[in-house]
Structure 1
Amino acid sequence: MTLRPFVALVGLCAAAACAPIVTHGPRAERGLQVTATAGLPQELCDTTCAVDLVPQIGFGARVGRPAEGGRMGYSVGGTFSASLFASEADVYLQAPTAPDWAAGGGVLLSPMHVMPYVQLGRMGEDGSGWYTTQGFAWLAQRTDLSLSEGSGDLVKPRYWAPTVAYRFTHRGGATHLYVSGAFGSTNPLSPARTENGPVRTVFAGIAVERQVRTPVQLGPPPAPPVPAPPSPVTP
């Protein structure tokens, strides 16, 4: 097995803007998980997009608790990105819902981007199922690539980030297969420029999570139920 494709992906992410990607489903997982994610981009602009975007490539960890008993669930974690300054924190709250549905909202925070998002999905008892993530991303300023070479105009990309994904569980963890998008424009920072550049890119990728530790129950186990006394026998 060669490492060249992986090295090429890391180099691409380091040179371009890493698009924020939510790497978990709508149901928060209990305990500690380690994660890894990668993907590939495809631009849809007619000529040149205003910014080169690649999906997040990196490794991370998160800890959480699912919503249960009418209580909110939560997930807190982060991803160490191949593009160092695109490393991000992820804070998510899961709302109490029906057992086979999960929903919530959170935010990705990084020196290079901010993306609030909401999630909704139909999940099976084992945690497998389809879900969607809907976010809106604001990226840090960068040079507009849609202009002629050497113009050097700075812009701030902003875009809608829809995602559809499928999560399936396996021994020791789960895998997410996703298709995501970035549809928006760039906000020019130069007073002499008024037009916005296009941002239209789709991504296909994978996120893998592995369970490391689940909380240990403290104290003695619950006592078994006491059987009801037999009914008195009447002559």
Structure 2
Amino acid sequence: MGLDADAWSAFQHDPRDPAHARLRASDADRFTATHLLGEAYAEGRLDLEEHDERTEHARGARVLGDLVPLLEDLVPRLTAPQGRGLVRATPAELRTRAEQEWASDRRQAVLGFLAPSLICWAVYATLAWGESPGEWQLPWPLIVTVVTFLNVVRVHVAREDIVASELAALEKKRAKEAKALAKESAARERLDPQALQAASELARRKAREAARTVEQDVVRRFNERFRPPGPS
């Protein structure tokens, strides 16, 4: 779990969502927040004082909304992945997405009709330029125009079928993502809160010891280099 946009998905419920802001935070949520703060400290984004202060607030968080100010300047403010958006999407929102997919197909069909037709007719006009009407050949671009236009008609006529097909695909994706989220939630609930707290305390103690060791080493090296010479 790193400090990227996916870090928000490590929580059972996204703390940024106003619908979740007043939900009580679990031990797993508090541990996730302290773990992210530990990574921020390890990367140099927080100094020791900031890390300790935020960690103390995270451990005392009562609701999910209390965790957002502690992490919002460390984790990118990007939306959740599409799959998780599908899990939360209402039937009306899924219908809207399916209709947007049909609209995209329609645009592609129209472009597929206009571009080849214009190019073919431009080539035909160039080749027929200067010839008498009796010398004109079969207008072969008409074949391209008819075929591509039929595709435009097909997309318009089959609107409901295309929307229904895309809606079924979105429903299938949502079911898969809901199943995956359920497995993640079950795995989090099986975590031992006491073990998580002990691991957090150990990581914090190790970080302080490492910082103290580095500080002592810097002081020792400074003293060795700039120590005034003793009397000869």
TM-score range, shorter chain: under 0.3
Q: Which has the higher helix share?
A: 2
Higher strand share: 1
- Compare relative contact order (CA 8 Å, sep 6+) and give the higher one, 1 or 2: 2
Structure showing greater radius of gyration is 2
